Amino acid sequence: MGRDDRRETTVRSQVFAHRRRLAAETLRRGVERGEVRADLELEVAIDALYAPLWLRLIVGHQPLTPKVADGIVDVVWPGLAAAPTGGDPSGTARPQRRRADPASG
């Protein structure tokens, strides 16, 4: 195994795998709260969310801005959202966002 192969393996196992585990945990909590479809294939959902982000970050064809990130979620969310039980009849209302406190990090 060459040096680049080891680096690629390290990045996959330490960076991408960790982020995917966190995303899966977040989606599972959404399922438990009834916000995310229970029949959702988590790996596919994570790919749908992350692929456009990584495309912009790695390929760099366009910048990844907060507006673009929100737009990606707006496009993907209807496919992740659980069927409505009341409130929003379309079932596409996004859950409340929790923004990280910049002072804490």
Q: Is 82 among the domain residues?
A: yes
pLDDT for residue 104:
40
Q: Is 104 among the domain residues?
A: no
Domain count, the chain: 1
Distance (Å, rounded) from C-alpha 78 to C-alpha 90?
A: 9
pLDDT for residue 84:
84
Q: Which residues of the chain have pLDDT under 50?
A: 100-105
- Give the domain extent around 10: 3-89
pLDDT for residue 29:
98
pLDDT for residue 20:
93
Q: Is 10 among the domain residues?
A: yes
Q: Is 105 among the domain residues?
A: no
Q: Is 14 among the domain residues?
A: yes
Distance (Å, rounded) from C-alpha 28 to C-alpha 42?
A: 8
pLDDT for residue 98:
52
Q: Is 102 among the domain residues?
A: no
Q: Is 40 among the domain residues?
A: yes
Q: Is 84 among the domain residues?
A: yes
CATH number at residue 50: 1.10.357.10
Q: What is the pTM of this model?
A: 0.69
Other beta carbons within 10 angstroms of residue 36's beta carbon come to 21
